Amino acid sequence: MIAIASDHAGFRYKEQVKRVLDELGLQYQDFGTDSEQSTDYPDWAHRASEAIVSGRCERGILICGTGIGMAIVANKHRGIRAAVCESVTAARLARLHNNANVLTVGERITGWESVADIVKTFLSTSFEGGRHERRVGKIHSLTEL
C-alpha cells in the first residue's frame, strides 16, 4: 500500500499520480487534500507519514509546490527516509543507496512528464543494500560520532 498526499499546490499532480498507480495496478490510500483550496502541507505529510511508520502503508508519495516542505515534515518521523527528487536519476539513487521510503516532488518545480517517470522509477527500484545498509542504519542513530 502506498500513502499519497498533497497540499493545494500539489493537488493536480496527486490526482495524476493516482492514475499512474491505477495503471500500474498498485494500491494506495489518499490522505488528502481533496482540492486546490489553500491548506497547510504539514497536516497531510504527518498523516501519510504516520501511516507508513505504523505499517499500514509501505511507501509514500508526497507532493507540494517544491517537495521540500513535505520532505522536511516527513523526515521528522522516525523510520521515514523522504527524498525530494527532481529527476529519474535522483529517484533511482534515493532507492538504491538511501532506501528512501517516501518520494516528494514539487508541482511548481518539475514537469508532469518527468514526475510520471520519477514515480515509476521510485516504485520499481529496490534498495541495493551492501555497503549502503550500514549507512542507512546510521540515519536514525543517536550515538555520537
Judging by beta carbons within 10 Å of its beta carbon (0-12, 13-18, 19+), is residue 77 exposed, middle or buried?
middle
Q: Name the DSSP letter for residue 125.
A: P
Q: What is the number of other CB atoms lying within 10 angstroms of the CB of residue 132?
A: 14
Q: Which of 8, 46, 57, 97 is catalytic?
A: 97
Strands 82-84 and 102-106: parallel
Q: Which of 8, 57, 64, 85 is catalytic?
A: 64
The rounded Cα 25 to chain-centroid distance in angstroms is 18
**Is 97 known to be catalytic?**
yes
Nearest CA among 1, 53, 10, 57 for reference residue 32: 10
**Is 57 known to be catalytic?**
no
List, in order, residues 6 or more apart from 75 with CB less than 8 Å away: 81, 82
Active site amino acids:
64, 97
